Amino acid sequence: MERIMDHLAHERSKAQFSVEEMKIIWAGSLHAFQVSDRIARLVASDPGFRKDNRAVLSRKELFKSALRKAAYVWKRINELALSEEEASWLRFYVDELAYAYIHWGMFVPAIKGSATEEQQQKWLPLANNMQIIGTYAQTELGHGSNVRGLETTATFDQETDEFIIHSPTLTSSKWWPGGLGKVATHAVVYARLITDGQDYGVHGFLVQIRSLDDHFPLPGVTVGDIGMKFGSGAFNSIDNGFLRFNHVRIPRNQMLMKVSRVTRQGKYVESNVPKQLLYGAMVYVRQIIVADASIALSRAVCIATRYSAVRRQFGPPHEDENGKGVETQVIDYKTQQSRLFPLLASAYAFRFVGEWLKWLYTDLIQKLEANDFSTLPEAHACTAGLKSLTTSAAADGIKECWKLCGGHGYLSSSGLPELYAAFVPACTYEGDNIVLLLQVSRFLMKTISQLQTGKKPIGTTAYMAHVEHLIQCRCTVQKAEDWLNPSVILEAFEARAIRLSVACAENLTKFATPLQGFSELSPDLVEAAVAHCQLIVVSKFIEKLQQNIEGNGVKQQLETLCNIYCLNLIHKHLGDFLSTGSISPKQASLASDQLRSRYSKLRSNVIALVDAFNYTDHFLGSVLGRYDGNVYPKLYEEAWKDPLNDSIVPDGYHEYIQPLLKQQLQNARL
Ligand SMILES: CCCCC/C=C\C/C=C\C/C=C\CCCCC(=O)SCCNC(=O)CCNC(=O)[C@H](O)C(C)(C)COP(=O)(O)OP(=O)(O)OC[C@H]1O[C@@H](n2cnc3c(N)ncnc32)[C@H](O)[C@@H]1OP(=O)(O)O
Ligand SMILES: Cc1cc2nc3c(=O)[nH]c(=O)nc-3n(C[C@H](O)[C@H](O)[C@H](O)COP(=O)(O)OP(=O)(O)OC[C@H]3O[C@@H](n4cnc5c(N)ncnc54)[C@H](O)[C@@H]3O)c2cc1C
């Protein structure tokens, strides 16, 4: 036991940089670090937030436990008079999915984004004080990605000055909204607005669905839970629900009227803001999900890295600090490094691009307030594309981390199966990842076509202004060290991205209609979108390194991580880089040489680099990822806690095992 604890301490002593300074870089600022650190400790030390083994709880127990914690969170927020920032850290570290995620993450933002000032004044205090609990009811049984295809109707009745909300078919039943099944009292419902016999498409409506007295559904409302989801704990603490309306009436002023409104006379009036602002809550949440992807991936990487330093298999006998013969730490196997270190680098890369995206979103909101809608298409493309890229990579990365831990990774007590099950739906919710990449490609094709009209591309597409150079430039790498030059890396990624996009644009012209072309070429368009999004991540990582980064050795570690992130992408997408002529086979081979050498450089720092995430053992929830590396005794202890070990002889022995054994013994004696 002592030996293992000493082992991680030895790993930490090898770090070539200041972990405390890196913690601040990871958190984003000294202030962010201090607040999150304080709240993380507060949560970890409060028995009310203890994490039971969720995998062994029944659905009802799990759900009730999430309700209890959500209520306790609210109590502590009020008792401690926490600020909004502190409250969201508290919810984050409690780490139990519950209705509050949708209430705060989607219901409140939808009201803020789509309601008029007057409507906000009425509804926000109710929501902020939790006098009502809301959900976001957009998806239907028959329609998820295709929002324009939603079937629920909101028909204006001029006589009573009301909208009649109705589910005309089974497929129009709302299906999936979190917190809807058993908790929410209200919902922002997306429905087709019909007035004067005309269908004006999908709009948002605030609808009360349950009584605030006895919690029963209101007349005309049928509501329930959609059933168990993948993974034993994970998302099953949330009541994703179904919802059907039978001519439910709401006052006219419960239509969210910032984008357009219906007058007392039933006239549909558009405002001067683009209709896409109705989708504002999705842009907001996609941006948060990118940050969430870096957190989910970094949790898994932290577990796999610490465990890989503890776990020993094979190898020439080494001597430990006490001169005792020991096997090789699995982290020293080059295969382990080539699977693990790019994930560590990705966690950092996603953190920085998430930080930038938060800035882009804040900037968008400021511009929207000043009636400047010019950056909305780019914000949509960036949030959609980066949500897709980072969640797909994080979900795959978490799964890889579990395999990196061998058999023990498959145990619930490793924390990895639940982390995976809880995170993998991020590839689907808030927009299916492929559908979102197709949105990015549409934006890219539009940008390329506008180049011919002389319109200057801005923001993340600014590189497209150099199309002529990027189409024909040759990569200048001659030796492996040349790959450490950021401008060389950037140009290779820009060349690959633009060449894939231009090829798509040229191929699209070969089809009878753009629609047909988009359909036939969609796999290529998705690849072009991925290349563009990877370029954004790469360029934001490089930009981060150009900032003033303080702390002993911190910048050097980030440079190594950035190199690993970029070179590993080249390695993984070699087909793209070679087929577009962005690099040559010889340069590809030099990139691989450089990548190997970066792994060696990083090796002695990896434990400290995961320590910089500053995750408490409570938050990590993993025996394998414990800070002290005391894995084996704790695994043994956890095994004893399994309900099957409550009794020596299992329930069922007398019914099923004993008679069987007896019968077989008798048969043998005969
Ligand atoms: C909730 C808390 C979050 C915190 C996260 C943290 C932790 C996570 C933990 C737990 C998470 C818990 C819960 C998860 C919640 C999940 C909630 C949901 O899933 S809500 C439902 C989300 N649904 C979708 O995302 C549907 C996806 N589909 C769409 O978004 C759209 O329909 C579309 C595919 C993008 C558009 O298709 P279409 O081609 O029909 O486009 P139009 O509608 O005609 O649009 C035309 C025009 O508008 C542009 N545009 C589209 N979307 C947007 C947008 N959001 N913003 C700005 N602009 C947009 C589009 O590009 C077109 O432009 P143009 O080409 O110029 O005409
Ligand atoms: C855990 C979880 C929580 C959720 N929470 C909420 C919530 O709170 N509120 C809410 O309203 N919704 C919620 N959703 C629903 C979610 O937003 C939808 O599932 C999502 O938008 C995808 O839609 P879909 O399920 O209809 O998939 P589909 O669109 O049916 O996708 C199925 C397949 O078709 C492909 N596909 C679809 N369209 C195209 C296309 N045009 N081109 C190429 N391929 C295509 C997709 O790539 C995918 O492979 C939640 C979902 C999950 C899993």
**How far apart (Å, rounded) are the C-alpha atoms in residues 664 and 494?**
71
One domain, residues 144 and 237: yes
Q: Whose CA is nearest to atom 39 of ligand 2?
A: 435
pLDDT one-digit tens code per residue, 218-232: 999 999 999 999 987
Nearest-CA residue for atom 2 of ligand 2: 429
Question: Which of 270, 275, 276, 297 has the alpha carbon at shortest distance from 381?
Answer: 276
- Do 139 and 241 fall within a single domain? yes
Answer whether residue 2 is part of any domain.
no
Measured in Å, residue 364 CA sits from the centre of ligand 2 at 26
pLDDT of residue 53: 78
pLDDT for the residue numbered 273: 84
Q: Give residue 5's pLDDT band: very low, low, confident or very high (50, 70, 90).
A: low
Query: Ligand 2 pocket test: which of 141, 391, 432 has the largest number of ligand atoms within 8 Å of its C-beta?
Result: 432
Q: Which domain holds residue 281?
A: 276-431
- Higher-confidence residue: 369 or 225? 225
503 in any annotated domain: yes
Per-residue confidence at 319, pLDDT binned at 50, 70, 90? confident
Is 201 within a domain? yes
Give percent above pLDDT 70 in the chain. 99
- Mean pLDDT of the region 472-487: 98
Q: pLDDT at residue 322 above 90? A: no
- Indicate if 150 and 228 belong to the same structural domain: yes
Could you tell me if 141 and 203 lie in one domain?
yes
Please check whether residues 322 and 209 belong to one and the same domain.
Answer: no
Least confident of 306-320, 349-363, 402-416, 592-606: 306-320
| Mean pLDDT along residues 250-278 | 94
Q: Is 431 in the pocket of ligand 2 (CB under 6 A)?
A: yes
Residue 116 CA to ligand 2 center (angstroms) comes to: 29
- Asked if residue 382 and residue 513 are part of one domain, the reply reads no
DSSP sequence for 396-460: HHHHHHHHHTGGGGGSGGGSHHHHHHHHGGGGTTTS-HHHHHHHHHHHHHHHHHHHTTTPPP-GG
For residue 198, what are the contacts with CB-CB under 8 A and spacing of at least 6?
Answer: 268
Residue 422 in contact with ligand 1 by CB distance below 6 A: no
- Cβ of 144 below 6 Å from ligand 2: yes
Of 32, 615, 648, 4, nearest in space to 355 by CA: 32
- 85 vs 165: CA distance, rounded Å: 36
- Looking at the fold, whether 213 and 332 belong to one and the same domain comes out as no
Q: If DSSP codes are grouped into helix, strand and coil, which group holds residue 336? A: helix
Which of 244, 267, 98, 94 shows the shortest CA–CA distance to 174?
A: 244
**Domain termination site, one of 603, 620, 639:** 603
448's CB contacts (< 8 A; 6+ apart) are 464, 467, 501, 502, 505
Last residue of a domain, one of 213, 246, 271: 271
**Beta bridge mates, 16:** none
The pair phi, psi for residue 209, each rounded to 5°, is: -115, -25
What amino acid occupies position 16?
Q
**Structure tokens belonging to residue 4:** 């293992």
Looking at residue 543, what is its pLDDT?
Answer: 98
pLDDT at residue 3 above 80? Answer: no
**Which two tokens mark 391?**
């969640």
Cα 490 from Cα 14, distance rounded (Å): 32
Residue where one domain finishes, among candidates 223, 249, 271: 271
What's the 143 CA to ligand 2 centre distance in angstroms? 8
Does ligand 2 lie within 6 Å of residue 6's CB atom? Answer: no
Q: Return the pLDDT at 234.
A: 82
Residues 248 and 381 in one domain: no
Question: How far apart are the C-alpha atoms of 610 and 19, rounded to whole Å?
Answer: 9
* Mean pLDDT computed over every residue of the chain: 95
- Report the complex ipTM: 0.97
Q: Give the mean model confidence (pLDDT) for residues 30-43.
A: 98
Distance CA 14, CA 160 (A): 74
49 C-alpha to ligand 1 centroid (Å) = 34
3-state secondary structure of 582: coil
At 447, the pLDDT band (50, 70, 90 cuts) reads very high
To 5 degrees, how large is the angle CA 613–CA 617–CA 424?
70
SS3 206: strand
> Do 249 and 282 reside in the same domain of the chain?
no
Nearest in space to 93 (alpha carbons), one of 107, 73, 78, 109:
73
Is residue 257 domain-resident? yes
Residue-wise burial string across 267-297, b where 16 or more C-beta atoms lie within 10 A, e elsewhere? ebeeeebeeebbbbbbbbbbbbbbbbbbbbb
Number of domains in the chain: 3
Strands (E), 159-307: 162-166, 174-175, 186-195, 198-208, 221-225, 241-245, 248-251, 260-262, 268-270
CATH of the domain at 501: 1.20.140.10
415 falls within a domain:
yes
CA distances from 653 to 219, 428, 641, 647 (A): 51, 43, 20, 11
The answer to whether the CB of 353 falls within 8 A of the CB of 540 is: yes
Q: How far apart are the first and last CA of the chain?
A: 52
What's the chain's Rg over C-alpha atoms? 27
Q: In angstroms, how far is CA 118 from the centroid of its own chain?
A: 33
Q: Is residue 634 part of a domain?
A: no
- Are residues 244 and 303 located together in one domain of the fold? no
- Is residue 571 assigned to a domain? yes
Tell me: do 244 and 299 sit in the same domain.
no
Beta carbons of 284 and 361 less than 8 angstroms apart: yes
Rounded Cα gap, residues 235 and 531, in angstroms: 31
Q: Which two tokens stand for residue 547?
A: 């900032």
Residue 114 forms part of a structural domain = no
Region 1-17: mean pLDDT is 76
- CATH number for 188: 2.40.110.10
The pLDDT score that the predictor gives to residue 2 is 42
pLDDT at 16 over 80: yes
Name the nearest CA neighbour of 132 among 161, 99, 165.
99
Confidence of residue 325 (pLDDT cuts 50, 70, 90): confident
Token couple for 296: 């989910």
**303 and 424 in one domain?**
yes
Identify the nearest ligand to the CA of 139 by its number. Answer: 2
Establish whether residue 419 lines the binding site of ligand 1, counting it when its CB lies within 6 angstroms of any ligand atom: no
Which residues make up each annotated binding site for FAD? Answer: 139, 178
